[in-house]
Amino acid sequence: MRNIKIIDDITKDGQVTFGDGYAFVDDTAEADAILMRSTDLHGYDLPASIRAIARCGAGVNNIPIDDYAKRGVVVFNSPGANANAVKEIVLCMMVLSSRGVVQSMDWVRQNADDPDILTHAEHVKKAFVGRELKGKRVGVIGLGNVGSKVANACVYLGMDVYGYDPFISVEHAWELSRDVQRVGTLEDLCRGCDYLTLHVPSKADTVGMIGTDQLALLAPGAVLINFARETIVDEDAVDAALHEGRLSWFATDFATPKTVLMPNTFITTHSGAGTEEAEANCADMAISELKDYLENGNIAHSVNYPSCSMGKARAASRIACLHANVPNMIGQITAILAKDNANVQRMVNESAGENAYTMFDTDEHLESSTIDALKRISSMYRVRVIK
Ligand SMILES: NC(=O)C1=CN([C@@H]2O[C@H](COP(=O)(O)OP(=O)(O)OC[C@H]3O[C@@H](n4cnc5c(N)ncnc54)[C@H](O)[C@@H]3O)[C@@H](O)[C@H]2O)C=CC1
Ligand SMILES: O=C(O)CCC(=O)C(=O)O
């Protein structure tokens, strides 16, 4: 039996199914793996029993992934599984910030007891006149799973779409409409935009990337949309731009002590991924990643270890080694196996950044002394006997 600790509400109805051979536990120290969403794990006391963590969602700035890698804990996310949900709410924010929808609905509610409300509505409606998205310039920062969908949708709405992503993947470049004009600098992207929407992860080079200088380049009365992370905008700069009317609206998914005090804001409760479909997609992807890792040692969509697959574990034994990406690890591993006279059927070694993963199948079970010797290799983080 494998034990799973669930942190956060993964789905609205609480339904999470791993199938036979799995149990849910309350005590993390009894768990083999964690299934989670947005809880901040920095400073969390992670027990040694945890071998893997799957984050239902895209952003992993809430998880100390480098530290966990060095403890032999593989962290997964679910790329793209909630991207459509975010795209839809971003489009919603574009419309809300352009058409006086919320203000006009508020007026109706406030005048609900007026018997002649139909006539009076005709008189006040000029106060809620807005502008159309068609023909307006939108800048999209980050053209990954969410940003590429937002950019393409804006093309279909007839907008003049510009995108900035120095690290765009080949897959997303292929998906992007040819009508999205890619620019090489953040400044060129911001210049003259009526709408600016952010779709980058929170990391060293994106924290505070939208500040006074970038906001100054936008068209007068532009709209800023942040459904990425609160850290990406300089909140003081945004507040000043709103007060001075340089920004007409700021739509954000992050209610912080500063954003809640700003004028002209649409603020949601980190609900960009809040659809039944996105929750189910994320849970399905995260659960299958965890199961394949726990049962077979295969890694897909990890954010701190390389992808690696040897299919189902069918040989007598399968061993996985999580270690630093340094010279002579394979040499040391095979030397230890040779001492045990172990016949390796198949071996795969993959690396990503500072970390590497070596997995092999053998004809017979290894001696426990052999496993101990593998664990003693310097820079070896964890050795798993999967089978
Ligand atoms: N509000 C919500 O509920 C949600 C928020 N998010 C946030 O949005 C972010 C993006 O999500 P996805 O598109 O799914 O991630 P993704 O990983 O598919 O795309 C991120 C893109 O940003 C690009 N990028 C990285 N650094 C950059 C930089 N310095 N300048 C420009 N582009 C850069 C990458 O090359 C990549 O194409 C997540 O990391 C997360 O923080 C994602 C999903 C839901
Ligand atoms: O609703 C959630 O779990 C957060 C989604 C999110 O922010 C992400 O996927 O990065």
Q: Where in the chain is the domain with CATH 3.30.70.260?
A: 308-387
Class of 308-387 per CATH? alpha beta
Say if strands 247-252 and 33-36 run parallel, antiparallel, or are unpaired.
Answer: unpaired
Domain 83-96+132-267 sits in CATH at 3.40.50.720
Please give the number of the atom of ligand 2 that sits closest to the Cα of 229.
7
Q: Residue 130 C-alpha to ligand 2 middle, in angstroms?
A: 31
Phi, psi of 202 (to 5 degrees): -85, 110
Whether the per-residue pLDDT at 12 is higher than 90: the answer is: no
- Closest residue (by CA) to atom 9 of ligand 2? 57
CA distance 45 to 43: 6
Q: What tens digit of pLDDT does each residue of 304-358 get?
A: 999 999 999 999 999 999 999 999 999 999 999 999 898 999 999 999 999 999 9
Whether the per-residue pLDDT at 14 is higher than 90: the answer is: no
Q: What tens digit of pLDDT does each residue of 122-172 get?
A: 999 999 999 999 999 999 999 999 999 999 999 999 999 999 999 999 999
CA distance 49 to 47: 5
Specify the pLDDT at position 273: 97
Provide the token pair at 185: 């600098």
Angle between helix 117-124 and 101-110 (nearest 10): 150
Ramachandran bin of 380, using left for φ above 0, alpha for ψ from -120 to 50, beta for the remaining angles: beta
Q: What tens digit of pLDDT does each residue of 15-43 get?
A: 899 999 999 999 999 999 999 999 999 99
Q: Which ligand sits closest to the CA of 226?
A: 1
Kindly list the distances between the CA atom of residue 339 and the CA atoms of 336, 360, 369, in Å, as whole numbers in the listed order: 5, 16, 11
CA distance 220 to 31: 54
- Closest residue (by CA) to atom 8 of ligand 1? 228
Please give the number of the atom of ligand 1 that sits closest to the Cα of 200.
22
Whether the CB of 83 sits within 6 Å of ligand 1: yes
Whether the CB of 147 sits within 6 Å of ligand 1: yes
pTM confidence score:
0.96
Sequence-distant (≥ 6) Cβ neighbours of residue 368 within 8 angstroms: none
Q: Residue 37 C-alpha to ligand 2 middle, in angstroms?
A: 7
Please provide the DSSP assignment of 69-115 as one string.
HHTT-EEE--TTTTHHHHHHHHHHHHHHHHH-HHHHHHHHHHTTT-T
Three-state DSSP at 321 gives strand
Please give the number of the atom of ligand 2 that sits closest to the Cα of 82.
9
Q: Provide residues with CB under 6 Å of ligand 2.
A: 37-38, 56-59, 82, 270, 273
Q: What tens digit of pLDDT does each residue of 261-283 get?
A: 999 999 999 999 999 999 999 99
Q: Which ligand sits closest to the CA of 199?
A: 1
Q: Where in the chain is the domain with CATH 3.40.50.720?
A: 1-82+273-305, 83-96+132-267
Number of Cα atoms under 13 Å in the Cβ half of residue 104: 18
Specify the pLDDT at position 13: 86
Does the domain spanning 1-82+273-305 belong to CATH 3.50.50.60?
no
Q: Residue 189 C-alpha to ligand 1 middle, in angstroms?
A: 17
CA distance 164 to 66: 27
Q: Which ligand sits closest to the CA of 142?
A: 1
Task: State which H helix or E strand residue 131 sits in.
Answer: none
